[in-house]
Structure 1
Amino acid sequence: MAFLQIIPSASASASPSSSLPHNTFSFSLNPKFQYSTRLNIFQRRRTNSKSLLLRCSASSFSEKHHTNSPKSDDVVELPLFPLPLVLFPGAILPLQIFEFRYRIMMHTLLHTDLRFGVIYSDAVSGTADVGCVGEVIKHERLVDDRFFLICKGQERFRVNKLVRTKPYLVAQVTWLEDRPSASEDTDLDGLADDVETYMKDVIRLSNRLGGKPEKEVGDLRRNLFPTPFSFFVGSTFEGAPREQQALLELEDTAARLTREKETLRNTLNYLTAASAVKDVFPSSSS
């Protein structure tokens, strides 16, 4: 397996509520995977008792992630599903549910609005305050009462307080939306184009290091507006969930794209150096 280094941007220390270390993040690539214009660029599997697979493609990220968008000052109660991953608006999340308390949650959701909160949690940083709604768009109930779900990321939310902890978490939340950029001169489309260019270069060099043909990378943006495109880019940063969480929490599209641009530029510099070493010492590359 080939490993890249996703290198945090210089602004990492300023991330909202996520204290990110100033080191590199492992970004793994499946050597059997071939990049395409849909950019299904990651697969993630949990190593604990839950079976989990996360895929994402640019075509999943519609210009509008939902209809009848809730107002940002609405306060609602939302069941929460803590997971060691970050769900972004527009992303597709397959889940297999077999833990008893979450089977109970699913029975409830299937009789209500099919929406629950996916929120990042790990043993080091605990449970985040900002998450993303996962809406069940397809489900299958198995014979042993397990569920297989296909969910799609919808609105982001911030947890105000927990209102119940058993049999599963339920929180009072408010909705989170990007604010207009502070500078009226910010060229969001230009930033998005720069990010796409860096992504293409990263894909090209990572394919080369992985021994794959250096094919021309197609359209990654697929006519997405800057905000959904920024979420799509963040969803591709596999192996760096704390960096993804920081991106999810940002409330400024320009700031999110700028941070992603810096991260991809640092990653490209790393790949360029690794490629040069491979050219000089081809037998030492793996």
Structure 2
Amino acid sequence: MALPQLIPSHSSSSLTHQPPINPHAANPYPIFKPFLKSSSLSQSRRYHRLSSLRCSASSFPENHHADPPKSDDVVELPIFPLPLVLFPGAILPLQIFEFRYRIMMHTLLHTDLRFGVIYSDSVTGTADVGCVGEIVKHERLVDDRFFLVCKGQERFRITNVVRTKPYLVAEVNWLEDRPSGSEDLDGLANEVENYMKDVIRLSNRLNGKQEKETLDLRRNLFPTPFSFFVGSTFEGAPREQQALLELEDTATRLKREKETLRNTLNYLSAASAVKDVFPSSS
């Protein structure tokens, strides 16, 4: 799958301006990334350096409280703040080297293998909504670092921080999408898939790549998991991804993703027209 660039919708806080179209300039917009399909630790190691991230627990005060819980099903969960967003069904390779998170891994490997991944950055702080990461493969090195491959599971909302040392532990409620009423979710999902295909096709053309057979991007996924898959491909726009993760309505999420893809397609179409008029000297 090609790696075209994405222009988030105007509602996204991650986009502040739209530069002039230059088909030969480096595109400033976030990367549209396909699902990582790692079948082994060795296959995913090329991602480890990018995912070896130091995290801070200081973003949460000890008495932090979020919005009132939506369910009585409250559980405690170790929390790993990261400058990225994990979606249900997505694969996340990580290298764990900071001491407190090595302590967390030792505990998890003897208990539940599940921890909460939550988005955090220096501008917006630490989010309240995140996604459970379940360890599906791990490798412990002689220096006590860990290589992990995790898979996104349920979404959650933090309701109370139990402790911050040696790592965050919080009480959470599980989140599920509400029924979308009379919305045609299958129709919306098909529209989003078609926009994705058009964006990939046009991006390949702009980058001089050979056009390939149209991919089955949806892969028989129901609309809700497909909407999470689409959100996971919006790499480079973590605040937009966080907004998508927090939505509790599949139709609204698909509509927002469709708008982002439509904006991107319009941009790529204009860039393609400019390139046709002013081809590069090479």
**Deviation per CA, 1:222-276, whole angstroms, max 9, x where unpaired?**
0000000000000000110000000000000000000000000000000000111
Q: Name the SS of the counterpart of 2:189 in structure 1.
A: helix
Q: Name the SS of the counterpart of 1:223 in structure 2.
A: coil
Whether the 8 Å contact between 1:118 and 1:134 is mirrored in structure 2 is yes
**Counterpart residue number, 1:253:** 250
d(CA) in 2 for partners of 1:277, 1:169: 51
Structure with greater contact order relative to length (CA < 8 Å, sep ≥ 6): 2
User: Does 1:6 pair with 2:3?
Assistant: no
d(CA) in 1 for partners of 2:225, 2:273: 35
**Counterpart residue number, 1:213:** 210
**Counterpart residue number, 2:29:** 26
d(CA) in 2 for partners of 1:47, 1:137: 19
**Counterpart residue number, 1:50:** 53
**Counterpart residue number, 1:144:** 143
**Counterpart residue number, 1:58:** none
> For residues 19-168 of structure 1, what are the structure 2 equivalents within 5 Å?
22-23=16-17, 26-28=29-31, 50=53, 72-168=71-167
Aligned residue pairs total 249
CA gap 1:161/1:21 in 2 versus in 1, 3 angstroms: farther
**Deviation per CA, 1:121-169, whole angstroms, max 9, x where unpaired?**
1111111110000000111111110111110000000011211111111
**Counterpart residue number, 1:57:** none
> For residues 180-191 of structure 1, what are the structure 2 equivalents within 5 Å?
180-181=179-180, 184-191=181-188
Q: Unaligned 5+ residue runs, structure 2?
A: 19-27, 38-45, 55-69
CA gap 1:27/1:4 in 2 versus in 1, 3 angstroms: farther
Shift of 1:196: 0.2
Q: Unaligned 5+ residue runs, structure 1?
A: 14-18, 52-70
**Deviation per CA, 1:7-49, whole angstroms, max 9, x where unpaired?**
2324x26xxxxx555545722379xxxx8xx787xx9776696
**Counterpart residue number, 2:275:** 278
Question: What TM-score, normalized by structure 2, do the two folds share?
Answer: 0.81
Whether the 8 Å contact between 2:9 and 2:259 is mirrored in structure 1 is yes
d(CA) in 1 for partners of 2:107, 2:50: 27
d(CA) in 1 for partners of 2:102, 2:172: 22
Q: Name the SS of the counterpart of 1:221 in structure 2.
A: coil
Whether the 8 Å contact between 2:53 and 2:82 is mirrored in structure 1 is no
Q: Name the SS of the counterpart of 1:238 in structure 2.
A: coil
Question: What TM-score, normalized by structure 1, do the two folds share?
Answer: 0.80
Q: Which one has the bigger strand percentage?
A: 1
Aligned-CA RMSD value: 2.6
> Structure 1 runs of 4+ off > 4 angstroms?
2-5, 19-22, 43-49
**Deviation per CA, 1:77-100, whole angstroms, max 9, x where unpaired?**
111101110000000111110110
Q: Name the SS of the counterpart of 1:27 in structure 2.
A: coil
CA gap 1:136/1:128 in 2 versus in 1, 3 angstroms: same
CA gap 1:39/1:76 in 2 versus in 1, 3 angstroms: closer
CA gap 1:44/1:194 in 2 versus in 1, 3 angstroms: farther
Whether the 8 Å contact between 1:39 and 1:220 is mirrored in structure 2 is no
CA gap 1:276/1:238 in 2 versus in 1, 3 angstroms: same
**Counterpart residue number, 1:62:** none
